[in-house]
Amino acid sequence: MTTKVAIIGSGNIGTDLMIKVLRLSESLEIAALAGIDPDSDGLARARRLKVATTHEGVEGLVKLDEFADVDIVFDATSAGAHRHHDEVLRALGRTLVDLTPAAIGPYVVPSVNGDAHLDAGNVNMVTCGGQATIPIVAAINAVSPVHYGEIVASIASRSAGPGTRANIDEFTETTSSAIEQVGGAARGKAIIVLNPAEPPLIMRDTVHCLVSECATEAVTASVEEMVGRVQAYVPGYRLKQKVQYEKVAADDPLRTLASSGDPLKVSVFLEVEGAAHYLPAYAGNLDIMTSAALRTAERMVAHRSVERATR
């Protein structure tokens, strides 16, 4: 038995997510796609795939006959719009998986805390940079407490649509917060770079963590194990080179960010290649978001099935 879902947002992210549900999921069934542009490629593609559509946003979605059977709604719009969608849909008893940086619900990164909020009415998928880098911060923190975690997400400018560009401030704030709350860093900072290179380059992420001196072999093993866990749902996620370690000199200002011990800087370099279900392969930033959202909803459904079976 499948669980019916709907998607709000007929842009690149919403359309890619729709195709992932159709092609990859055994437990989810796409019931409807809602947008606000009647001429969007996403709505046109949904109609060709026999998926119910509306160009009247969330108000149009709740009017569709198909909405009555929907349990989970993915929001692939913007942080500002999500606040309204949350008010409308949670009042109607629907669960929201939020792909915007609105951060109304708890943060979820599947490889780190995927089972922590399965009963929540609204969960937040942080950001593309967060999904790519927070697992690494958490892996390092599992071995040695992270005093400071900094991530730099570099994405192709062509893969950054109007929603991403409008939410740059929310991106940095939400990711920084999740580095601390999910990754476990005492302090977190996030930077996003829109790379204008042509042809477009795939997503690259750099993670710098400041820790007390520790067994580097254990940190490397933890990072590599975590990369494998993310690859289970994002096959194009990989290390670009070996984990790097650098002792922090006595006169280096970085020492002020370490609360104790002899600080060591750990640097991890990643790339994320998209699966190209709908988006081009260079848009790994969008692919990791839709993949994480799909994995989260599937875990919610599996959890609910177990609960029903044990009642």
Count of beta carbons in the 10 Å neighbourhood of residue 91: 8
161 is in an annotated binding site: yes
- Single-letter amino acid code for the residue at 152: V
Consult the annotation and say whether 195 binds a ligand: no
* Owner of token pair 């792909």: 99
Is 164 marked as binding a ligand? yes
Of the candidates 278, 235, 191, the one whose C-alpha atom is nearest the C-alpha of residue 9 is 278
Inter-residue contact 84 to 62 (CB < 8 Å):
no
94 annotated ligand binder: no
Please state, in angstroms and rounded to a whole number, the distance separating the CA atoms of residues 75 and 96: 7
Q: From the candidates 97, 128, 202, 292, give the one annotated as an active-site residue.
A: 128
57 is in an annotated binding site: no
Q: Is 209 a catalytic residue?
A: no
Is residue 160 annotated as involved in ligand binding? yes
DSSP 3-45: EEEEEE--SHHHHHHHHHHHHH-SSEEEEEEE-S-TT-HHHHH
Task: Give the whole-angstrom CA distance, residue 43 versus residue 237.
Answer: 29
Bridge-partner residues for 7, per DSSP? 33, 74
Is 12 among the annotated ligand-binding positions?
A: yes
Q: Is 192 annotated as a binding residue?
A: no
Helix, strand, or coil here: 309?
A: helix
Q: How many helices (H) and strands (E) would you count in the chain?
A: 10, 12
Tell me the longest C-alpha to C-alpha distance in the chain.
67
Annotated binding-site residue? 3: no
Strand partners, 271: 204, 238
CB 133 within 8 A of CB 205: yes
175: burial class by Cβ within 10 Å (0-12, 13-18, 19+)?
A: buried
Q: Is 13 annotated as a binding residue?
A: yes
Q: What residues contact residue 242 under an 8 Å CB cut-off, 6+ apart? A: 220
Contact 144, 212 (CB under 8 A): yes
List the catalytic residues: 128
Specify binding-site residues for NAD(+): 10-13, 159-167, 285
Specify binding-site residues: 10-13, 159-167, 285
